[in-house]
Amino acid sequence: MVPQDLISEVAEFVREMDGSGSCRKTGVNGVFAFCSDTPTQFEATFYVPFMGLVLQGAKEAQMEDRVIRYSAGMSLILSHALPVNVRVIDASPEKPYVALAALLDLATARSLYDEVGSIENQEQAIYSMSVAEGDAALTDAMARLFRLSRDPAEVQALAPLVLKEIHFRLMRAKHGGMMRQLLLQESPASRISRAISRIRTDYKTSIAMAELATAAGMSQSSFYEHFKSFTSTTPLQYQKELRLLEARRLLQCGGKSVASTAYDVGYESPTQFSREYARKFGISPKDEKAGSAVPLFISE
């Protein structure tokens, strides 16, 4: 059960920004607060590894063939950077969607190896994004982190300790199997993570499957199988998603033509770019409005 006073505090904090609410950074680097008074349409975004705790309402994430719903009291773990479609599905002015989130840090997780490295995975299937009921201890840790975020002195002295506690609790959680895999440098999860880093760095250029498999230290067949299993997409589609999301950001910032944007993100054909852009976002790139950019949560 999420304390009502925490829900109210987080909602009020977010609304202080502009009165309507949405997403707001807290005083702790990499920690965010959310509030939405209404359900939203699916929005394409890019998530880097993070954990989320829903305090009230519900949200839905879509990744190719997977749809994940998470509601009040549930925690979410995203272990690998992924393009995702998300929407708020349960919110009203009387009971807004309210949530907290924090970026995950692999170095912090690995510093806890001796404490959690021997814990066996409980899941039969492990995905990069997973949800489960959040326990009281995790909710308490996130509440303490949010509350201390408003005092710079407490942020400096206490935030690192609470963030370490949160990582520890997530790795001990039922849905923390992928995080536990990431503790091991040569696990499939770590190998796919390295391949994802390569795609993100070189998303503008063509990358052969053999190169990615080599970077991951896996055979091509094993690499493809694990990549698809963990991310619910293929390496080629993953790269395409990155290109299109970056193109949308450039167009919404204004100042670039459709053709130059296409070339900037790695397309050789503006026609192909326009076709794939319209299929992805339901609008042609030439009709994308400059200045309408919606900040992508934890996409940097």
The yes-or-no verdict on residue 126 having pLDDT over 80 is no
**Does 77 lie in the same domain as 8?**
yes
pLDDT top residue among 113 and 89: 89
Average pLDDT value for the chain: 90
What is the extent of the structural domain holding 61?
A: 4-182
- State the CATH number of the domain containing residue 276: 1.10.10.60
Domain count across the chain = 3
232: CB partners within 8 A, 6+ apart: 63, 64, 65, 66, 127, 128
Residue 119's pLDDT is what? 54
Residue 216's pLDDT is what? 94
Name the H helices within 149-257.
Answer: 152-172, 177-182, 188-201, 209-216, 220-231, 235-253
**Does 153 lie in the same domain as 67?**
yes
Residue 292's pLDDT is what? 58
**Does 260 lie in the same domain as 150?**
no
Single pTM value for the model: 0.91
Six-digit token string for 215: 């970077």
Q: Which single residue is written with the structure tokens 């503006």?
A: 270
Angle at 52 between CA 71 and CA 247, to 5 degrees: 105
**Does 254 lie in the same domain as 126?**
no
Q: Is residue 22 part of a domain?
A: yes
**Does 53 lie in the same domain as 163?**
yes
The yes-or-no verdict on residue 124 having pLDDT over 60 is no
Mean pLDDT over 33-42 rounds to 95
Model pLDDT for residues 50-86, shown as the tens digit of each residue: 999 999 999 999 988 789 999 999 999 999 999 999 9
| Residue 232 to residue 213: CA distance in whole angstroms | 17
**Does 46 lie in the same domain as 93?**
yes
Model pLDDT for residues 200-256, shown as the tens digit of each residue: 999 999 999 999 999 999 999 999 999 999 999 999 999 999 999 999 999 988 878
**Does 105 lie in the same domain as 65?**
yes
**Does 133 lie in the same domain as 207?**
no
**Does 138 lie in the same domain as 41?**
yes
**Does 41 lie in the same domain as 17?**
yes
Six-digit token string for 171: 């790795």
**Does 136 lie in the same domain as 85?**
yes
Domain limit, last residue, from 164, 182, 200: 182
84: CB partners within 8 A, 6+ apart: 44, 45, 46, 47, 61, 62, 63, 129
Q: Is residue 293 part of a domain?
A: no
**Does 219 lie in the same domain as 123?**
no
| Residue 33 to residue 102: CA distance in whole angstroms | 9
Q: Is residue 156 part of a domain?
A: yes
- State the CATH number of the domain containing residue 159: 2.60.120.280
